[in-house]
Structure 1
Amino acid sequence: MRLKLGVIGAGHFGRFHTLKAARAPRVEFLGLADADPARAAQVAAEAGCRAWDSAQALMAAADAVIVAAPTAFHHGLGMAALAAGCHVFIEKPIAATLAEADALVAEAAALGRVLQIGHVERFGAGMATLMSRLGGSAGVGRPLYMEAVRVAPFRPRSLDITVILDLMIHDIDLVLSLAGADLVGVEAFGATLVSERTDFANARLRFANGAQATVTASRASLAMERRLVVHGTEGIARLDFLAREMTLVRKGQGAPLEQLPGHGIETLSWQDHDNLEAEQAAFVAACLDGAPVVVDGVAGRAALDAALRVEAACAG
């Protein structure tokens, strides 16, 4: 069985989704639609697929759609796709407001449709390596404090939203999934540097189980940096996503550390895979096989809620 799939939106992420979906196994790719017919035709020619005249016509023909339009259109397009009977994948953030997110989650549940949100970092090889070492005798235990950094040089895209909803929300989603408890407090600072919206932000998140996280994001940095440090009850894990390396410091395991008695150190590396391809495959499996949705609407709503609270704190 093959999933009749279409893409709505031919921008930066829409193009990537189209190129992947056009070659995906178990998918009958119908093509894409965009408000700009010329852009749609350009991406369709590159992918070797059809450019549809309207999103509504594509929804009517599809079993599922990927919504990769600007954030302001996520709610309207998502609701229309659900009404057309489609399973829906929406790029992050789930919507522009919590009310819109709640409506999408409720409608998908009422109609029995899959709703997956595009927090692609959950599907990375680095996170899979970390998750394999969190619990059990070989793990670092329950996270107590986490620090995430995601900074990059300026690129003139996604300027309709702040760096918080553009970049930081990736790490917000990760620390929410790792903390395993409700978010109870937010402190944050942000600055506008090169665009009309916040380009740099730093946030401190507190959770109901006592865990805390510091998250930093910038789209106006001199160089790219992506790392995550997890201090757990049994040790520390430090991930450098650009170097594809994780350093583990744990009680009684690894090469002994003189500066930390009773602890040892171990270094692991991983080979990257195509995160977007893995994310799309998970969506297809959820639609065709009833597989669990890794990042569902509830998770997407939680990440949006936290991101909006960071924005509010930055605004003072």
Structure 2
Amino acid sequence: MNPRIGVVGAGHFGRFHALKLRGRGLSGLHDPDAARAARVAEEAGCPVLDLPGLLAASDALVVATPTVHHAAVASAALRAGRHVLVEKPIAATLAEANALVALAAAQGRVLMVGQIERHSAAIRTLRAECAGRRLGHVEAVRVAPFRPRSLDVSVVLDLMIHDLDLILALADSPLDSVAAVGGRAVSDNTDWAVAHLGFASGMRATVTASRLAVGLERRLRAMGPEGELRVDFLARSLEFVAPGGAAPMEHLPGWGIERRSWTDHDSLEAEHDAFRAAIAGARPYEADGQAGRAALDAALRVEAALAG
């Protein structure tokens, strides 16, 4: 049986969640902006409910409010015995994140964080290619043109957190050191940032994020003793230069290039499918509360380095 899932928040991401859930167990929508809630609810074909009414009508909630409200809404849902998918970042502070993780465990409920990239075909391909490889340095770039949304948080919590989450998974090692540069340009929060990360394993990473770019750019390079991996996420291309690669390289005897691609799928739908599977008992599941907490911790350490 499909769980009944309600959505809290009718903004940019909340609307996407509601439309994706239409006809698939969407129980209702809540947003303090009545006019906005009515517009999105009409699109999604669901009722507008107050929060207690939405909790009563639902088995689970998607929390897509501004970040400052994540902890309060997710806590209310967990205390009511509901499963929760909360948009990233998991909370505004590490203390709030810790409390949510502890509460979900105490209640025996799913707490999933909307690190949607974990459900993308691109990241699944990349993680499969990197499995078992020794990485020395990873470079990630994620830049986009300015859009007047998500300005309640910095570019670190808006964009960079996706790559921080990925790099934490690739490193599989404690984050030892963080240095960063960045600045404001068009908002009250940091609009561009470059972070340098060091891990206990010896791996290093450089992560660049900006919401001031002329166009979209998303790429990653991973280097290590086994070769170099280059990924262009927009071009859906992955190249691995390594000993014995399928396409020999004249200037590097014994080495060659392996090329991969992938077929994109609907990452939000994949995220919802994973949420339903977790509710049904699938373990482990992607982007659980601990993973969301780790990504937030890394992002806040980057912000502290920026401020320091």
Distance 1:176 1:56 in 2: 37
Q: Do the aligned residues in 2 keep the contact of 1:126 with 1:239 (CA within 8 Å)?
A: no
Matches within 5 A, 1:137-152: 141-152=133-144
Task: Give unmatched runs, 5+ long, in structure 1.
Answer: none
Matches within 5 A, 1:73-112: 73-112=69-108
Q: Do the aligned residues in 2 keep the contact of 1:8 with 1:14 (CA within 8 Å)?
A: yes
Query: Counterpart of 1:80 in structure 2: which amino acid?
Result: A
- Residue 44 (structure 2) aligned to one of 17, 42, 47: 47
- Residue 307 (structure 1) aligned to one of 277, 299, 304: 299
Task: Give unmatched runs, 5+ long, in structure 2.
Answer: none
What whole-Å deviation, never above 9, does each CA across 1:30-82 have from its counterpart, x for those lacking one? 02111111111101111112121x12220122111000000000000010000
Structure 2 residue 123 is matched with structure 1 residue 131: no
Q: 1:85 Cα shift?
A: 0.7
Distance 2:17 2:283 in 1: 21
Query: Counterpart of 1:32 in structure 2: which amino acid?
Result: L
Match of residue 185 from structure 1: 177
Secondary structure of the 1:51 match is coil
Q: 1:203 Cα shift?
A: 0.1
Structure 1 runs, 4 residues or longer, greater than 4 Å off: none
Q: 1:259 Cα shift?
A: 3.0
Calculate percent identity across the aligned residue pairs: 58
- Residue 119 (structure 1) aligned to one of 115, 121, 144: 115
Matches within 5 A, 1:254-265: 254-265=246-257
Match of residue 20 from structure 2: 20
When residues 271 and 290 of structure 1 are mapped into structure 2, their CA distance, relative to the original with a 3 A threshold, is closer
Q: Do the aligned residues in 2 keep the contact of 1:78 with 1:88 (CA within 8 Å)?
A: yes
Structure 2 residue 191 is matched with structure 1 residue 194: no
Distance 2:202 2:74 in 1: 36
Q: Do the aligned residues in 2 keep the contact of 1:130 with 1:237 (CA within 8 Å)?
A: no
* Number of residue-to-residue matches in the alignment: 308
Structure 2 residue 159 is matched with structure 1 residue 167: yes
Q: Do the aligned residues in 2 keep the contact of 1:11 with 1:68 (CA within 8 Å)?
A: yes
Distance 1:61 1:232 in 2: 51
When residues 126 and 290 of structure 1 are mapped into structure 2, their CA distance, relative to the original with a 3 A threshold, is closer
TM-score, normalised relative to structure 1: 0.95
TM-score, normalised relative to structure 2: 0.97
Secondary structure of the 1:50 match is coil
Q: 1:232 Cα shift?
A: 3.3
What whole-Å deviation, never above 9, does each CA across 1:155-192 have from its counterpart, x for those lacking one? 00011110000000010000001100010000000110
Match of residue 154 from structure 1: 146
Query: Counterpart of 1:126 in structure 2: which amino acid?
Result: A
